[in-house]
A and B are shown apart, each in its own frame.
Chain A
């Protein structure tokens, strides 16, 4: 027994010595080579070809990791853009919306990043704090609302007119409803759709309203029920919400929450689903129609080139269909109605040409009335005081020029019912 134990201990000592010996050498070099190991060499090489441009190293802060459709959408674009532009990057995932975000941003700066990007709404206050502490570093934040009032030269917001993408996805959904009505599965009056939202927040309301208006533009009798999970990522709750809507008689589901909960529930129940953030066709081949998403690559390439050329990044950047920021996935022809792709292309051309506005006030009412004026809290000073009229020329100007990129459409329109209320 003792022999065995001593043998074991001796073995450990040998391993320990080997480990220590190996450890000390790289440790000495380490401070200088703090750079990310795996991706760096590939990313480094092209950077050397453009010596004129300033060296850029980008730090990305993600709320979750690639298991969340929301963060995966950011991550994929980040990797693609950085590799295309030939710049180094570091990714910090699973960063909560608290002081950890400031620490992560500061660590990225320590690691040599001169451009830091965070992807979640709750990161904003901590990014602003970091922007104040590191004035020589550029901080960009998706979905935030405060850059245009904060007045910091190195803090910027970005978003995209995703409501246009939602509207297009809505057109595809409406065509599917019409197909099902024509096939006699239910009557036009029974055409009810469901929507699983995260929070009753402007970003979500803007999303489902534009989706609904898209559906109604092809299927006029449609109504919609909305339920909220009060979480951006809760697979069980999202699944439960979708199931509840299906049991309520909803014939088609869409969602604005970040897990696979709602698409999975739809696949299990055989109910068509319009997805978000990316294609869910792999998991849901029999129910997935189409998905809208924001492609962050155009913005990433823009912000990187700004830093490379020493130019100022726009305080509030809003991507559109034209910039390639708002995109639809391939239509799943196995589920979608015939001619869906053509219809989408047609509407898309009208949106780009400015002939069609998603929030055209002639297409929706509030309490039976058509709105001619609506004051929104665009400046978001924490006062909740709406101060800016955002309806002009017959449409609600969402994410409009001169306002801000993050959505502020928070109107409850007729035809949509909140079943939690």
Chain B
């Protein structure tokens, strides 16, 4: 009896199609709510004025022209890795090996800069850097794809483990090429000759990176949406059986897509080593290979939206650094704020797909 009459306070029901404006209203509301929550946390925990904190976060990215360029650079690098893994994600191939593919691309670029500096002219070194780092990234992405295609190995674990192999390889070469002896650091490569340094365009150190990533963005967008390859990827992603049924060679698509995915990661490594840092460390990818999972998912694998999501993450990260500098708070506090904001953003997707139905009639009967 009791059970039959039981009517919960609310239950969750799936929504039908939500109009775009409504979905964005919910997302916008979630961001605003997250800011309110962060403000409350800030005031309660640290006693700082939350508005001042927000202004500081904003200034972290837009405070000066230089900060804005740093923002652009970081967005470009994050976006580049996100663009790299997205074709694989769309195919339901969970490539979380972006980190390793970037590192191995960077390693190839650094190897060219160090080993060829005495024997080849600058232009030839740069040409070889481009070819080798893209090829190295492609190979690093291709290996797990080959195993997946041939023996159906688990790509998540495989690509993850390839990260550690790449990190150890880089650590090894850091010792081989260390300067000074015993320090385990390569230092800036060819600092006096600038051999193998990618050119600086228009006096802006980061402009080249931004332009290259823009080209990659257009390429990936067109590739996914307007080419036969892109269509094959989405069919394989929807259902491998359907793909086989219509005559798509699934193995070929998997390997081809991962070669591309790894190649773009390798390109990111090239930009990080050849254009930005001019050195190689095990932390040069800075966790981007993992952050992009969020970038890509939040944007629902749409390359154009990924510009916005990577911007958001970098904006928050830069703001976090600014908070720790200006308020003398530990960076971990800023990370907490970032976590809260992301929680709200990801949570808002729930309210777009589902709705809460509250008990209406039951109360009257009680």
Contacts and interface: CB of A to CB of B under 8 A. Distances in A.
Interface of A: 1, 4, 8-9, 12, 15-16, 19, 22-23, 26-27, 30-31, 34, 36-39, 65-67, 90-94, 96-99, 103, 106-107, 110, 121-122, 124-126, 128-129, 145, 199-202, 204-205, 230, 377, 380, 382, 384, 410
B221 interface: no
Contacts of B281: 96-98, 122
A15 B66 contact: no
A128 B188 CA distance: 11
A344 B25 CA distance: 70
Contacts of A65: 324, 330-331
A122 B182 contact: no
A125 B279 contact: yes
Given A9-B25, A126-B188, 17 more contacts: A1-B355, A12-B29, A19-B32, A26-B51, A36-B326, A38-B328, A92-B325, A94-B324, A97-B281, A107-B64, A107-B70, A121-B183, A122-B187, A202-B182, A380-B180, A382-B187, A384-B181
Given A1-B357, A125-B187, A99 B181 contact: no
A91 B328 CA distance: 8
Contact of B276 (A27, A99, A107, A125): A99
A224 B142 CA distance: 48
A91 B182 contact: no
A398 B261 CA distance: 52
A130 to B, nearest CB: 12
B183 A201 contact: yes
Contacts of B175: 230
B86 to A, nearest CB: 26
B327 A38 contact: yes
Interface in B1-32: 25, 29, 32
Given A12-B33, A19-B51, A121-B185, A93 B63 contact: no
B51 A125 contact: no
Contact of A27 (B55, B179, B321, B324): B55
B328 A39 contact: yes
B221 to A, nearest CB: 28
Most chain B CB within 10 A, of A66, A90, A103, A410, is at: A103
Contact of B51 (A23, A98, A103, A382): A23
Nearest to B286: A96
Contacts of B179: 382, 384
A22 B279 contact: no
Given A16-B32, A65-B331, A107-B67, A91 B55 contact: no
B277 interface: yes
Interface string B348-363: 0000000111100000
A199 B182 contact: yes
B116 interface: no
Interface size class of B (residues with CB under 8 A): 35 or more
Contacts of B153: none
Given A27-B55, A122-B185, A230-B171, A93 B324 contact: yes
Interface in B26-68: 29, 32-33, 35-36, 39, 51-52, 54-56, 58-59, 63-64, 66-67
Contacts of B51: 19, 22-23, 26
B1 to A, nearest CB: 29
Given A9-B29, A12-B32, A23-B55, A199 B66 contact: no
A202 B279 contact: no
Contacts of A410: 181-182
A189 B281 CA distance: 43
A19 B54 contact: yes
B227 interface: no
Nearest to A31: B63
Nearest to A108: B325
Contacts of A382: 179-180, 187
B54 A23 contact: yes
B237 interface: no
6 contacts: A19-B35, A38-B328, A97-B281, A122-B185, A125-B187, A129-B188
A122 B187 CA distance: 7
Contacts of A103: 66, 70
B272 to A, nearest CB: 9
A110 B70 CA distance: 13
Contacts of B325: 36, 90-93
B183 A26 contact: no
Nearest to B284: A98
Given A93-B324, A107-B64, A99 B357 contact: no
B49 to A, nearest CB: 9
Given A1-B357, A8-B29, A199 B184 contact: yes
B283 interface: yes
A34 B182 contact: no
Contacts of B358: 1, 4
Interface string B223-256: 0000000000000000000000000000000000
